[in-house]
């Protein structure tokens, strides 16, 4: 699943570390999410959604195939 985390994080002028702190996760987790290494848990997706002020569907692009 692709996501717009990096794009939306940069729009706020936040480093990965800064964003990680706001989310309450490690910097490595933010890095892994941006690089598409894995998808966040649903609760974390909601936190990301809240902090980036976008609906989940506006951040994560689900490709059924």
Site string for its own copies, 21-40 (x = CB under 8 A): ------------------xx
Burial of 5 (0-12, 13-18, 19+ CB in 10 A): buried
User: Is residue 27 a contact residue for DNA (CB under 7 A)?
Assistant: yes
Q: Quick one: which of 11, 17, 53, 61 contacts DNA (CB under 7 A)?
A: 17
Under the binding rule (CB under 8 A), the answer on residue 19 touching its own copies is no
- The partner in contact with residue 56, picked from its own copies, DNA, none with C-beta cut-offs of 5 to 8 angstroms by kind, is its own copies
Written as six digits, the tokens of 9 are 């994080």
Give, for 23, the enclosing helix (H) or strand (E): helix 16-23
């Amino acid at each position: 699943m692709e996501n717009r985390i990096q794009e939306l994080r940069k729009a706020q002028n936040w480093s990965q570390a800064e964003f990680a702190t706001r989310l309450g996760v490690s910097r490595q987790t933010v890095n892994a999410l941006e690089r598409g290494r894995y998808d966040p848990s649903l609760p974390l997706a909601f936190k990301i959604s809240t902090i980036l002020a976008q609906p989940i569907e506006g951040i994560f692009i689900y490709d059924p195939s």
